[in-house]
């Protein structure tokens, strides 16, 4: 049997005029059913953008910021320490500086400060003569901190994309597309996307469209690494931003690409997700995100080289920590039993910078919500990743009475609570998961776009499918199933035979296929075979050849 449950969609009955039937099916699978939607999705141009002033409190945010710009006030941009927050901080510092602002960044350290606004940090900024603090990717749940800032005489403008609490912070303005009173059409912006809309609003009718366009590379980096759906504005920004990144003038990005042996021109969503993004995230995961921030804005080649090398070292350390924690947490989860509706594990020495990352990997593997936490003598800090069927933020909201703080999204959130409350927290969260997930099929599954013969990919079909790029969260690389495929040849490759290379024949057509990390499954290969796969261009020695990227396989179905 297959290693995952293959979920095939209903077949699209009505083709879209001018669109290849397979492309129309893929669009249908993503909820796009009429020609105007299809045209906008494929074009992915500025028509997807909306008026930034539709966002709540945008007029107040712009008015207060321009008052600060015109009167020469010192402004601080207060961001989060992940790649989304770092790119948002860099974007707004660059934008406000170009408008003549006296602006400084502030990104808290993960180990000593943790996520969110901190009164101690706000006092430090006030001591540096800052009178206006603009948050990016944070602040929406900082009710007590904003109230104290107001008493200090400090104005706060919040731009954030996390789910707001029932009562908003008493800030001068709270710009968040997820506010219940928002008229904005798209709630799924990254933190850097909300910061960009704020910059757009500041630039509107001021003849500086060039400035907005030149920071779309930062929007792209943050949007992809924060894994928000590539629909609507996100889709246009990423498409345009990839063009900028592939011809980047940022010396920091040039040096980071050189450091990881990526040639400009070959950067796509996947390379950012798996290569550039993790390195930008690494500094903040280990403690101080300043390295990533400086890399994005430096104009000095020697500094850029040193910063890129430092990020490479930190990413290696981050990967080591994550792999070690994954092994330990996985063992602990397996010992408790993976049939539980909610998987939880924790120890005193779990590194806080990677627990969310590891929770996500375990959630993907077992298709269960996963919460990992770090014990402390007085406080326990945790991070969770969930599945579509379980709203993690809603569950945390119901535990608000025992939490110190919490925040995030429906499928990813963090929290802290008194250590003595942990058993009660575990009991309540497990009960909610048991209630909501009872009777559901929670087998790991694979979403398939279409069942097709391999011959369908002749005559430029792959190029037609590429019209739907950029692929990413919400618009994944299309996945197909083909049945009764003949295995002509198979080999284990890699330094430890960890990969599987196949030559396949189907209806007279021969294809090469690669199954990354499938080497240990070589004995399960039958002939013939049902396969689930995506298509990719294999670039080798300057040549490009289409091949199958094997995702799963099974003996032929009856």
Give pLDDT tens digits for 497-556. 999 999 999 988 899 999 999 989 989 999 999 999 999 988 766 677 889 999 999 999
Taking the C-alpha atoms of residue 395 and residue 390, their distance in angstroms, rounded to an integer, is 8
Q: What is the pLDDT of residues 322-373, one digit of tens each?
A: 999 999 999 999 998 888 899 999 999 999 889 999 999 999 999 999 999 9
Question: Beta strands 379-385 and 499-506: pairing type?
Answer: unpaired
Could you give the residue ranges of the DSSP H alpha helices within 128-215? 143-152, 191-203, 209-214
H/E/C letters for each residue in 422-440?
HHHHHHHHHHHHHHHHCCC
| Inter-residue contact 92 to 133 (CB < 8 Å) | no
Dihedral angle of Cα 357, 363, 364, 367, to the nearest 10 degrees: -170
Taking the C-alpha atoms of residue 151 and residue 346, their distance in angstroms, rounded to an integer, is 39
Taking the C-alpha atoms of residue 318 and residue 149, their distance in angstroms, rounded to an integer, is 35
Taking the C-alpha atoms of residue 175 and residue 510, their distance in angstroms, rounded to an integer, is 54
Q: pLDDT band for position 558 (50/70/90)?
A: very low
Q: pLDDT band for position 268 (50/70/90)?
A: very high
Dihedral sign (CA 238, 412, 393, 401): negative
Dihedral angle of Cα 423, 428, 430, 435, to the nearest 10 degrees: 160
* φ, ψ (nearest 5 deg) of residue 456: -65, -20
Tell me, what's the pLDDT at 403?
94
- Res. 119: pLDDT tops 90: yes
Tell me, what's the pLDDT at 409?
86
Query: Taking all residues of the chain, what is their mean pLDDT, rounded to a whole number?
Result: 93
Helix (H, G, I), strand (E, B) or coil at 299: coil
- Res. 14: pLDDT tops 70: no
Q: pLDDT band for position 444 (50/70/90)?
A: confident
Q: pLDDT band for position 202 (50/70/90)?
A: very high
Tell me, what's the pLDDT at 231?
93
- Res. 110: pLDDT tops 90: no
If 0-12 CB within 10 Å is exposed, 13-18 middle and 19+ buried, where does residue 83 land?
buried
Smallest CA-to-CA distance from 386 within 426, 416, 359, 406 is with 359
Taking the C-alpha atoms of residue 153 and residue 167, their distance in angstroms, rounded to an integer, is 21
Place of tokens 């009955």: 13
Tell me, what's the pLDDT at 434?
94
Strand order in the sheet with 405-408: 343-347, 370-374, 379-385, 412-418, 405-408
pTM of whole model > 0.75? yes
Joined together, the tokens standing for residue 30 give 């993503």
Question: Beta strands 480-493 and 450-451: pairing type?
Answer: parallel
- Cβ atoms within 10 Å of 17's Cβ, excluding its own: 8
Per cent of the chain over pLDDT 90 is 79
Helix (H, G, I), strand (E, B) or coil at 135: strand
What domains are there in the chain, each with its CATH number?
5-41+448-554 (2.40.50.460), 52-233 (3.90.1640.30), 246-322 (no CATH), 337-437 (3.10.310.30)
Question: Beta strands 499-506 and 509-515: pairing type?
Answer: antiparallel
- Res. 1: pLDDT tops 90: no
Tell me, what's the pLDDT at 13?
62
């Amino acid at each position: 049997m297959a290693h995952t449950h293959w979920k095939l969609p209903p077949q699209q009955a009505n083709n879209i005029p001018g669109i290849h039937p397979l492309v129309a099916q893929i669009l249908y699978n993503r909820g796009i059913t009429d020609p105007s939607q299809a045209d906008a999705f494929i074009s992915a141009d500025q028509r997807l953008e909306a008026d930034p002033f539709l966002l709540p409190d945008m007029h107040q945010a712009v008015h207060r910021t321009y008052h600060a710009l015109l009167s020469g006030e010192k402004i601080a941009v207060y961001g989060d320490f992940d790649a989304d927050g770092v790119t948002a901080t860099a974007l707004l510092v660059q934008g406000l500086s170009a408008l003549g602002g006296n602006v400084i960044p502030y990104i808290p350290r993960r180990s000593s400060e943790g996520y969110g606004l901190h009164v101690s940090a706000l006092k430090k900024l006030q001591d540096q003569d800052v009178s206006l603090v603009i948050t990016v990717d944070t602040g929406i749940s900082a009710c007590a901190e904003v109230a104290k800032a107001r008493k200090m005489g400090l104005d706060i403008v919040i731009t954030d994309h996390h789910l707001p609490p029932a009562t908003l912070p008493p800030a001068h303005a709270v710009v968040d597309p997820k506010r219940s009173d928002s008229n904005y059409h798209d709630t799924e912006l990254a933190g850097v996307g909300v910061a960009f809309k704020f910059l757009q609003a500041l630039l509107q009718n001021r003849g500086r469209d060039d400035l907005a366009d030149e920071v779309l590379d930062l929007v792209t980096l943050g949007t992809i690494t924060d894994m928000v759906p590539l629909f609507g504005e996100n889709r246009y920004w990423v498409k345009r931003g990839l063009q900028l990144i592939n011809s980047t003038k940022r010396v920091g990005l040039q040096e980071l690409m050189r450091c990881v042996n990526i040639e400009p021109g070959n950067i796509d969503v996947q390379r950012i997700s798996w290569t550039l993004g993790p390195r930008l995230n690494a500094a903040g995961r280990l403690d101080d995100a300043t390295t990533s921030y400086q890399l994005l804005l430096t104009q000095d080649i020697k500094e850029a080289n040193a910063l890129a090398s430092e990020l490479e070292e930190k990413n290696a350390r981050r990967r080591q920590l994550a792999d070690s924690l994954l092994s330990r947490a996985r063992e602990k989860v397996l010992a408790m039993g993976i049939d539980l509706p909610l998987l939880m594990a924790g120890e005193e020495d779990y590194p806080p910078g990677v627990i969310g990352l590891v929770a996500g990997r375990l959630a993907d593997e077992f298709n269960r919500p996963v919460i990992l936490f770090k014990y402390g003598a007085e406080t326990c800090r945790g991070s969770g990743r969930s599945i579509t069927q379980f709203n993690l933020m809603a569950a945390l909201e119901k535990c608000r009475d025992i939490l110190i703080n919490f925040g995030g999204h429906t499928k990813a959130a963090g929290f802290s609570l008194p250590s003595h409350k942990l058993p009660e927290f575990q009991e309540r969260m497990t009960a909610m998961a048991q209630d909501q997930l009872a009777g559901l099929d929670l087998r790991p599954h694979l979403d398939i776009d279409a069942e097709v013969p391999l011959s369908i990919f002749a005559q430029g079909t792959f190029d037609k499918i590429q019209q739907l790029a950029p692929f990413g969260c919400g618009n994944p690389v299309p996945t197909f199933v083909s049945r009764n495929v003949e295995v002509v040849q198979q080999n284990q490759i890699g330094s430890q035979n960890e990969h599987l290379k196949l030559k396949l024949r189907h209806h007279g057509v021969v294809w090469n296929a690669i199954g990354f990390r499938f080497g240990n499954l070589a004995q399960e290969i039958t002939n013939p075979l049902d396969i689930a796969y995506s298509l990719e261009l294999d670039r080798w020695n300057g040549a490009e050849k289409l091949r199958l990227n094997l995702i799963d396989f099974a003996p032929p179905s009856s």
